[in-house]
Amino acid sequence: MKAVGLVVEYNPFHNGHRYHAEQAKISTGSSVAAAVMSGHFLQRGEPAAVSKWARTKMALENGVDLVIELPYMYAVQKAEIFARGSVSLLHQLGCSSLFFGSENGRIEPFIEAAESFGRQEKNYNIIVKEELKKGVSYPAAASKAFSAIFKDNNMLDLSKPNNILGFHYVSAIRAAGSSMKPHTTARISSQYHDAELPGPKSRIASATSIRKALIEKGTAAVEGFLPEASAQELKAYYKTYGLWHTAEDYFSYVKYTLSTLSAQELSQIYEVEEGLEHRILRIIRQAGSYHEMMELLKTKRYTWTRLQRMNTHILTRTKKEDMDKLLKPSAAPYIRLLGMTKKGQAYLAGKKKELSAPLVSKLSSFSHPALDLEIKAGRIYSLPIKEPLRTMFDRQEFSQAPIRYDEDEKRFLNS
């Protein structure tokens, strides 16, 4: 059985995601779609609107056969590390190919860009350092460096978010010496950051616009852009827990955490750099909301996304030295299985002896510092949930076996 790898967040799973999973199988001739999915906190530092378990169920009901977790250590990171962790897991899972959406839509420019980058990485790093010294943000410095080293070919627009991620996926495959073949398709209809839902004739919308409408108006406003199963899972989650998780829900916890840290202690937190701790401690006393805090913190050098990731690391009290130790090995330390279809289970059964990392089905069966961090992040994610539901939610992290879905009978075999 051939498996195609997908790197996803499914926040939430919408019609575009279903199309992506279908095209991944068709384009690569694969019978299994394996998704590596961020856990409770995402690449931009924000909390997922609903839990990883709810998003896993949405995926399994809509054409994805395996869902494995992208650990926090990779998930809440800049694009290079996010891509490195994702590629490592899909490679260890034995995927033959990796399929991603991009603004470009053709794989050749990504391969050429990755090869060129490999030859000019030293020059790239020099330019990035020079730009950072000027006080610009890391994304702006990286964009300037890319433009400089690729100035003669204009092969790939690396100012576009999905092109950037795709470039890093292909670069990570190359750096790992993986035999996975990269494939891409053009994103359809809505753009990644579109904030408003499209007109009634469209059934494809960006996850950003869907989340915005979901939070402001509820599931009725977004049902036309979701598979039916996704809409039902969202309704069930809200009925159980009474909320969609947003960054604003965590403001009081950020404020509390910062009130317990000295400037010296804060300076040791991952992504708190260059004296930023003093600015943070000064601003947190003024801010009355998460949005206000971010507006006060944001500068030309420090983007909203980087600061949002930093705030999440503050919540988890993730220290630089601890993250550096976790990221030092080149390969992911384990493969945590969140869910599978019957077809996905058959694929795993055939690959189990070939896996180069432990396959984790239950937390009680495995121990690792990266998993400890994952557990901590899960507990923090649950804080806005009211008791006794929060205790129930926390227990699920330890008691939940991988979700199993019978795609023929269209029913879950456990939950």
Annotated binding site for ATP: 7-20, 101, 162, 187-188
Instruction: Please give the angle made by the CA atoms of 252, 258 and 259, to the nearest 5 degrees.
Output: 90
Annotated binding site: 7-20, 101, 162, 187-188
Picking from 188, 268, 348, the residue whose alpha carbon sits closest to that of residue 198 is 188
Place of tokens 């077809």: 343
Q: Which distant-in-sequence residues (6+ apart) come within 8 Å of 189 by Cβ?
A: 16, 198, 202, 204, 205
161, 261, 317, 318 from 268: Cα distances, Å: 30, 10, 9, 9
DSSP 319: B
Dist CA 316 CA 395 (whole Å):
18
Cα torsion 369, 86, 313, 386 to 10°: value is -90
Distance CA 21, CA 23 (A): 6
Q: How far apart are CA 227 and CA 250, in angstroms?
A: 29
Element (H, E) at 369: helix 369-381
Task: Name residue, tokens 């990504």.
Answer: 110
Cα distance between residue 42 and residue 50, in whole Å: 12
> What is the 3-state composition of the chain as percent helix, strand, coil, each rounded to the nearest 5?
55, 10, 35
